[in-house]
Structure 1
Amino acid sequence: MHSLDQIYAFVSVYENHSYSSAGRNLHKDRTTVRELIKAYEDVLGFELFSIVGRKANPTERAEQLYPQAKLVLRQNQKLLEFGTAMFMEPKTLLKIGYDIDFPVEFIAELERRCLITFPQIRVQWLETNRDNALKAVAERDIDLAILPATGGVAPKFPLIFKHLGYISYGLYVGARSKLAQKETFSIEDAQLEIQYLSSNNMSSDGMIQAFSSHTRIISSHTLMVKMLKNDGWALLPVPLGEYYTQKNVLKKMTTPLLANDVKMPFSLFHAIGMEQETTTKTLVEWCTELAKSYFR
């Protein structure tokens, strides 16, 4: 019968291609890792690695075994997190992270409901980016986070996530800038004119990336709109862009750069086991309800 220690050793050697590196990752010495692998091979009846120099190369059977072993470790982590959450004390502070591009009306409605339903709980709304927030949620420094999704099957941290919907982005310029006088905004314009990009987009592996040869990074939508009054262009969430378009501050441009508005998926993330918390369960239900009416 195999043990979890053997599976952890196998996965670590597979991912690090070395008994020594796997040992450092597992806080075990190289000899212990090698003994665990040997014991696992005895249980399985076949070799897992061939040693070439200092490198441990997985065998064909190890390649087939790895996805299943990885799944077992994820399930084990989920069980540990689930058990830990069962004995956590009731919350008095709730930290919720959100991406700068997520609609403020949605967040404001969540806050209104929190004030009514959880008046005894202090809520902190923390503007953050995807990479930092996912790590913070996994380490329970943040309770929940509403963030862009990259389209992968699962995030790189052991988390529970729920898809909320898609936010459309359009290309906007200042309504009185020289770029607003163009009938269309060409790919050459996008490459040569100043592009304003939010710091969150720049630091995350999302759809909105630097395209221009002259990109400026801004951490505030308010400041970005001020900059666009003078020059440059930006991909902005359509609800935000249209708000300023109606005020004759911005203008949405048609462009071959975008056949249609770019659509970014957003998801709600929380740590494994936190679904048992009343606050987390309720917020997930609220987000699910609001998403149905907001993202049509």
Structure 2
Amino acid sequence: MEFKQLKYFVQVAKDLNYTVASKKLFVTQPTLSWTTKKLEEELGFKLFSYDGKKLALTKEGEKFLGQAQHLLKEYSKTIEFIRRSQDKITGQLKIGIPDLFADCFFIDSLMGFIHDYPGVRTNIVCNGSLAIQEGVQSGKIDVGIISHLNPPITLEVIELPNYSYRPVVIVSKNHRLAGRTSVSFRELKKEKFILLSEEFTLGKLPVIQCIKNGFTPEIKLRSSEWSFICDAVAHSDCISFLPEPLIEKYISGGINVIAVDDDQSVIPISLITKRNVHTSLALQKFVSYFLKANIN
């Protein structure tokens, strides 16, 4: 039995009309009828009788109505108590997250926490994953949501299985690879690279993968601004790597996008905190809230 079933039953009992009750509850009439039938099956008795013209409560339904109203009242008190408890949780929380993740993946979770815990002063620090990792290690950042290569054992890492991304290669419209749909790292040996700064995972991963494929990439330029990198690639014969979700959401024109033929290039996203240190109640609540929202 769910509280939603009780709520629906009480509303139908008040109106004695499925159509009227469904409009007040913002559900369809078939949904309301089906929910009532399931509740009757669970209880083992009929809640309503219908003579073809008018809906009425049965004797069992009348008795159950008082119990249902009492349960809903107590449920409302409990929710209000939890809300007030959340309001009393105070403190400061510094969350590190790359712009890409905040915008494309987790904005609802972040704003939901801020709304539900108004007593916590939350500071969002947007930076590259590796810079955030260092911030968590040093204690300057309380919790990070990052993509990672090999996080140190001093960090508690909770992988978010529903979230990952692939890097893609971007080239100018006139580049020799512009007509390709995919490319391997081995084929990039003679290319000139423009990469994100080293505080970003994609500032290091392409270099690691190139070395694994037998060559050191020729890096012409680094930048922390993906928009500048796109413009630089569009006006040169260099290539670069950016996260696929970024390309899908923001970028069009001036560049061609090429998939990377490398299964190891799928980059996981995780929540990180520092191990073996005292954690504030605000941090505990954030971790619990965030994981509940993002792990099925």
**Normalising by structure 2, what TM-score?**
0.54
Structure 1 residue 100: deviation in Å? 5.2
Superimposed CA distance per residue, residues 110-152 of structure 1 (whole angstroms, 9 cap, x where no aligned partner): 3321331122333222133455433432443211011223256
Instruction: Supply the distance in 2 between the matched residues of 1:221 and 1:178 (Cα, whole angstroms).
Output: 19
- Structure 1 residue 181 displacement after superposition: 3.6
Q: Distance in 2 between matches of 1:131 and 1:284?
A: 20
**Aligned-partner Cα distance in 2 for 1:201–1:147:** 11
Match of 1:170 among 164, 168, 180: 168
Aligned in 2, Cα 1:208/1:109: closer, same or farther, shift over 3 Å?
farther
Asked if residue 144 in structure 1 is aligned to residue 140 in structure 2, the reply is no
Task: Assess if the C-alpha contact under 8 Å between 1:97 and 1:127 holds in 2.
Answer: yes
Of the three residues 248, 257, 260, the one matched with 1:252 is 257
- Distance in 2 separating the partners of 1:251 and 1:171: 8
Q: How does 1:158-237 map to 2 (within 5 A)?
A: 159-165=155-161, 166-174=164-172, 176-179=173-176, 181-183=178-180, 185=183, 190-200=188-198, 207-209=205-207, 211=210, 212-231=217-236, 232-237=238-243
Counterpart residue number, 1:134? 133
Give the structure with higher Rg (CA). Answer: 2
Name the CA distance, whole Å, in 2 between partners of 1:145 and 1:95: 9
Partner of 2:269: 266
Q: Can you list the C-alpha shifts for 1:153-189, whole angstroms capped at 9, x where unaligned?
A: xx242x3221114222222224x34346433657576
What's the RMSD between the two structures over aligned residues? Answer: 3.4
| Per-residue Cα deviation, 1:78-116 (whole angstroms, up to 9, x for no partner) | xxxxxxxxxxxx653221112455352324223321331
Partner of 2:117: 118
- Structure 2 gap segments, 5+ residues each: 1-88, 211-216
| Residue identity opposite 2:258 in structure 1 | M
Q: Is the 8 A contact 2:195 2:223 kept in 1?
A: yes
111 and 161 in structure 1: CA distance in 2 versus 1, 3 angstrom threshold: same
The answer for the alignment partner of 2:284 in structure 1 is: 281
Give the Cα separation in 1 of the matches to 2:116 and 2:263: 40
Once the two structures are superposed, residues 176-229 of structure 1 have per-residue CA deviations (whole angstroms, 9 ceiling, x without a partner) of 343464336575762333322111456899533274313421101222222222
List gaps (5 residues or longer) in structure 1.
1-89
Stretches of 4+ aligned residues off by more than 6 angstroms: 202-205
Partner of 2:105: helix, strand, or coil?
Answer: helix
Give the Cα–Cα distance (whole angstroms) in 1 for the partners of residues 256 and 203 of structure 2.
27
The residue number in structure 2 matching 1:49 is: none
Q: Give deviations 1:249-287, integer Å, cap 9, x for gaps.
A: 4422256xx245821122111134678644323332343
Q: Name the CA shift for 1:290/1:112 in 2 (closer, same or farther; >3 Å).
A: same
Q: TM-score, normalised by structure 1?
A: 0.54
**Structure 1 pair 261/150, CA: closer, same or farther in 2 (3 Å)?**
closer
Same amino acid, percent of matched pairs: 16
Counterpart-to-counterpart distance in 2, 1:286 and 1:195 = 40
**CA–CA separation in structure 1 for the residues paired with 2:254 and 2:247:** 9
